[in-house]
Structure 1
Amino acid sequence: MRESGKIDYLELPAGGGSLPEVKRFYEKAFSWSFTDYGPGYSAFSEGLDGGFDGNPENQKPLPVLFSDDLEETQRVVEAAGGKIVKPIFSFPGGRRFHFTDPAGNELAVWSES
């Protein structure tokens, strides 16, 4: 059920022409599926929560994915072609790492332990 005023969709750039590569990465790394809307747009349907980061150094949106096994997810991300930009580190509430996808988008993956 959609609720007015709640984040319902996250749109990320695909690096101007690398849409097939980006789709392959997310299919391989996270088993995502897509619905194509023409040659230049693909939609996905995955869970989403969010928050605001008050750090002035962080000026870009940062999608954060969840993992039950952070080390295995990092391995799968690297094997799929992702680049680790911040190795696994602890933060209040868990641990996470950051990576970039083939289009240069930075994302994070977190785990409670």
Structure 2
Amino acid sequence: MTNARPRRPMALVLSRREDRRLHACLSLKDLGYDTLGFSLVEDAEAWLEEDTPVVAVVDCAGGRGPDGVIATLRERGVPLMPTGRPWTSGSEAFAEPSPSSSRRSASG
């Protein structure tokens, strides 16, 4: 018998600011998502070559712009939450994930 927990849907968080990245990750975890936080656009782009999140938070402040990441996420139909909006369970941008949203798909 295994004690494997069910796979939770994956959320991507991209922000150069550690405080924003941490806040978004913790809030999304509270909503039932597993999170993957990136501080560099290049790292997020590399991950997106292999996988697709169910939702994403992208902070456009500072450094190289995340235009490529945003374009990829939009092409794949991933809901985006801009920064500057609250990352709380009351947000209309994200609801608690349904069991059917627990998929992880390879990019294609």
TM-score bracket for the superposition, by shorter chain length: under 0.3
Structure with bigger gyration radius: 1
Normalising by structure 2, we get a TM-score of 0.25
Higher RCO (CA 8 Å, separation ≥ 6 residues): 2
Normalising by structure 1, we get a TM-score of 0.24
Which structure's residues are more often strand, by fraction?
1
